[in-house]
Structure 1
């Protein structure tokens, strides 16, 4: 069996795709398959990929359906013992596969999480999130279960590219990325992480994340309208899997904060649209058994935001009600 399947979705990635592919082909561990899903690119991406003759590369061409669908297509055909994900503008360190695979096999893990380093126009930088600094030293060099991370679960990086997954585990729990929205990593992470039995961390920078203007999270634009639906999907996951009661305090704060931060920072032309999506979501919550949980568990700033959305009838009215709530404080 092939040791690792690398799933690389790409849409109009001609500027960076060669660096991504080359980083895979240069790995010290050579027993892998690289599944590239060309998600309807209209630039030179297909020509660049077709320029490679390596038999380990599998190219799937499809119409544009978004990153969630592309990753799911890759999972459908993956044959590796383990699965890793790569974004088309990023790259792996040359020993990433060897280190991640050896750790996963040695510890018999469902998921192993490694560090990411950021790259911005020639400069490398680190942050606590990608460095896994939320994990104390007690988590290093051992296997743990997800509920040991209960106190900081929502402070763990959700990036699928930061992890190596046992493929059999992914298949057994039927894990899929949400399709048709951005921020598809988030629901996928929480479902797989909380479904796992054996997890480990690797305190090594194995993945390089490129920062540039086209990165999904670098500009708060129309993509952030999807924070509402992503939060709804997340709530469903916790409820259906009986994780809600254990995590509801932090879960509800997390669900409110995504759209709240987005509404504060999104481009002005999208604010009314995002407000409307949030209001529709909150109005529906008011009719459910979970409404009182929001009122009882949210901190004062998030609770005010929640109620101001419900009580307002327009974005302009909301701004008046919420004018004291302009900072990201808890």
Structure 2
């Protein structure tokens, strides 16, 4: 087997401590690794941490500072364009790879037909926790039920495993072949909310074959700390960007050769997300939650009419912005 060259894209915004942990981890690795750190205009000591980093010769550090704060989607796209490794992974600054990550990834069939590999993760609720052996329920159910994930070199097609679409749309639970990222044009839309949805779905929709490492233990710890300032807890205009995003995704699914199999997965995904937006995100009785629950529900009702009929209502045609307009900041952007 040839020597693998890995690239890790890490968007960073005011998380110097998380970067220190990453640098310490990678400095002990023998693999050929490129770290692409995209500083999204941090005002902490991120630049100092990078400047003073001491890494062995097999670790290449590529540092890019954005001119303006553009959010994680733009940072990931910038990093994606800077990678040189054959295999690419997107990390968050506070994620932690397992000590045995590379041992298991070395078994993934990335040289034998898989465009990317999907793997398990630890979902941690506090920084003191690392090995939780918990995932979001939809992912736990998926990895429990899969039948076509043979150890270790097996690959599958989307036709064989359409349920993979409904795993949570995270950017950090996959490792890609770089040539696939480029060929399939996997990129993040310039949005501040729900920007992870298109690259997740496009990864499966545009791949020939992929690998599911159901036989491996969780390979990364992702932290979801319950704080009011987390993007997941945000209620407001930016979240409206998901609707034109879903319209464009639905059009691509409708033109896909496997549309008959994939559209039910998309419908289930939309149902679950809309229920979360109205019943969980806006569950509180305060004025803001009530007002936005009503606005989200109105958009959801219009979108469901579109799913059922394939046509926009006259009101929706006049009100629904294109994803391109959203990306240029006409609605819901924060630039």
The CA distance in 2 between the partners of 1:232 and 1:134, in whole Å, is: 33
The CA distance in 1 between the partners of 2:302 and 2:250, in whole Å, is: 20
Alignment correspondent of 1:50:
51
Q: Is the CA contact (8 Å cut-off) linking 1:117 and 1:207 kept in structure 2?
A: yes
Deviation at 1:109, TM superposition (A): 1.1
One of 23, 26, 49 as aligned partner of 1:24 = 26
The CA distance in 2 between the partners of 1:25 and 1:182, in whole Å, is: 33
Query: Measured at CA, do residues 153 and 206 of structure 1 come closer, stay the same or move farther in structure 2, by a change above 3 Å?
Result: closer
Indicate whether 1:109 and 2:114 are aligned. yes
Q: Is the CA contact (8 Å cut-off) linking 1:212 and 1:218 kept in structure 2?
A: no
Q: Is the CA contact (8 Å cut-off) linking 1:211 and 1:218 kept in structure 2?
A: no
Q: What SS does the corresponding residue of 1:160 show, helix, strand or coil?
A: coil
Deviation at 1:160, TM superposition (A): 1.6
Q: Is the CA contact (8 Å cut-off) linking 1:26 and 1:94 kept in structure 2?
A: no
Query: For each residue in 1:128-149, what CA deviation from the matched residue of structure 2 results, as whole angstroms up to 9, or x when unmatched?
Result: 5555524524323211111212
Q: Is the CA contact (8 Å cut-off) linking 2:35 and 2:62 kept in structure 1?
A: yes
Alignment correspondent of 1:316:
none
Structure 1 segments, 4+ long, off by >4 Å, are 128-132, 214-219, 224-228
Q: Is the CA contact (8 Å cut-off) linking 2:193 and 2:231 kept in structure 1?
A: no
Indicate whether 1:77 and 2:82 are aligned. yes
Indicate whether 1:87 and 2:92 are aligned. yes
Deviation at 1:105, TM superposition (A): 3.4
One of 209, 212, 218 as aligned partner of 2:222 = 209
Under a length normalisation based on structure 2, what TM-score does the superposition of the two structures give? Answer: 0.76
Query: For each residue in 1:13-58, what CA deviation from the matched residue of structure 2 results, as whole angstroms up to 9, or x when unmatched?
Result: 1342211332233334x20100000011122222222221436111
RMSD: 2.9
Alignment correspondent of 2:280:
265
Q: What SS does the corresponding residue of 2:108 show, helix, strand or coil?
A: helix
One of 121, 125, 128 as aligned partner of 1:122 = 128
Deviation at 1:209, TM superposition (A): 1.1
Alignment correspondent of 2:268:
253
The CA distance in 2 between the partners of 1:20 and 1:214, in whole Å, is: 23
Deviation at 1:283, TM superposition (A): 3.6
The CA distance in 2 between the partners of 1:252 and 1:117, in whole Å, is: 27
Query: For each residue in 1:227-255, what CA deviation from the matched residue of structure 2 results, as whole angstroms up to 9, or x when unmatched?
Result: 54335323412422513443333322322
Structure 2: give runs of 5+ residues left out of the alignment.
317-335
Deviation at 1:173, TM superposition (A): 1.4
Query: For residues 81-230 of structure 1, what are the structure 2 equivalents within 5 Å?
Result: 81-119=86-124, 120-123=126-129, 124-125=131-132, 126-127=134-135, 129-130=138-139, 133-141=143-151, 142-150=154-162, 152-202=163-213, 203-213=216-226, 220-222=233-235, 226-230=238-242
The CA distance in 1 between the partners of 2:270 and 2:186, in whole Å, is: 21
Q: Is the CA contact (8 Å cut-off) linking 2:166 and 2:265 kept in structure 1?
A: no
Deviation at 1:113, TM superposition (A): 1.2
Q: Is the CA contact (8 Å cut-off) linking 2:186 and 2:199 kept in structure 1?
A: yes
Under a length normalisation based on structure 1, what TM-score does the superposition of the two structures give? Answer: 0.77
Deviation at 1:121, TM superposition (A): 3.9
Which deviates the most, 163-172 or 276-285? 276-285
Query: Measured at CA, do residues 168 and 135 of structure 1 come closer, stay the same or move farther in structure 2, by a change above 3 Å?
Result: farther
The CA distance in 1 between the partners of 2:300 and 2:263, in whole Å, is: 17
Aligned residues: 290
